[in-house]
Structure 1
Amino acid sequence: MQDTSEGSYFGNLLTGLDDHILDGLLEVVISDEQLEEITTVLRRQKFRKHFSPDDIEEFLSLIYKTARIVAIHHSVRDCRDEKDNFILETAVRGKADYIVTGDKDLLVLNPYRGKKIIGFREFENIMQELKKKGKL
């Protein structure tokens, strides 16, 4: 479960990522299942404390327009929470470098088949380092 401080932190992290996505500097790899989950979760009442409905819809629109959709076959069964296996499979099939999550059931698997599983704060640190090096 994500507490309100994490929700607020996640909101701050998203600020500015849209430019990197639109500029092709950051690629979002996602499955249909993840799109559905993100859409459902972001529209929950608790996120309205941190995002306006327009901001949520704008972010979802960006993801729908720019993300690379990966087909999954539900063949991965390595997570202790079986409902999260599709996230691992999406990363593997999509050849992602990172899985960014706050989910402890996923974080304990780091690294997973060459993918780094990191939290939002670590992702922000990586983004800041890339900016310092002029790569973003």
Structure 2
Amino acid sequence: MQAWRGGALDVVLSEFILGEIRRVLPRLAHRHGMTESEIDDFVDILSFLAELVDPEALPDGAVRDENDTPVLGTLLAGMKLHGVDYLVTGDKDLLVLADEFPVITPADFWAKHGGL
């Protein structure tokens, strides 16, 4: 977050991804300890500070899990409009696309850019 606030990196999201964050984070409360209210505040902050894009359309079958289509579409829109370098995710269905698209794990991103 400090690197983002300091301008060392840009975050590009879509409304779909914000909804996914809001939906998934409560299930992971045992890992991060955030309350529902804190999650809502976090998503609100993201929505104000991130660059929001509309996901690019993808052909049918572009991803293993069709629910990931808007996520990959967000990457493509971000690359086109904002020069996005990576999609950072732990989703295995998206990580298998790393040969075709710049998709990396949070750990790999941190290893490359942890000193931001």
Task: After TM superposition, give the deviation of residue 72 of structure 1 in Å.
Answer: 2.3
In structure 2, C-alpha distance between the alignment counterparts of 1:103 and 1:82, rounded to whole Å: 13
Report the TM-score, using the length of structure 1 for normalisation: 0.70
Once the two structures are TM-superposed, the CA of residue 51 in structure 1 deviates from its matched residue by 2.2
Deviation at 1:76, TM superposition (A): 4.4
TM-score, with normalisation over the residues of structure 2?
0.81
Contact 1:76 / 1:85 at 8 angstroms: preserved in 2? no
RMSD: 1.8
Show CA shifts across 1:17-46 (max 9, x none): x1111112111111111111111111x2x3
Give the number of aligned pairs. 109
Q: Quick one: which amino acid aligns to residue 28 of structure 2? A: F
Distance between the aligned counterparts of 2:38 and 2:110, measured in 1?
20
2:106 matches 1:120: yes
Instruction: Say whether the 8 Å CA contact 1:76–1:88 is kept in structure 2.
Output: no
Please report how far the alpha carbon of residue 70 of structure 1 lies from its aligned counterpart in structure 2 after TM superposition.
0.5
- Quote the Cα distance in structure 1 between the aligned partners of 2:23 and 2:15: 12
CA distance change for structure 1 residues 111 and 97 in 2, over 3 Å: closer, same or farther? farther
| TM-fit CA distance, 1:84 | 0.4
Identity across matched positions, percent: 34
Q: Write the letter of the residue equivalent to 2:22.
A: T
Distance 1:38 1:72, change over 3 A: same
Residues 60-92 of structure 1: CA deviation (Å, up to 9, x unaligned): 233112111101253344111111011111111
Structure 1 unaligned spans of 5+: 1-17
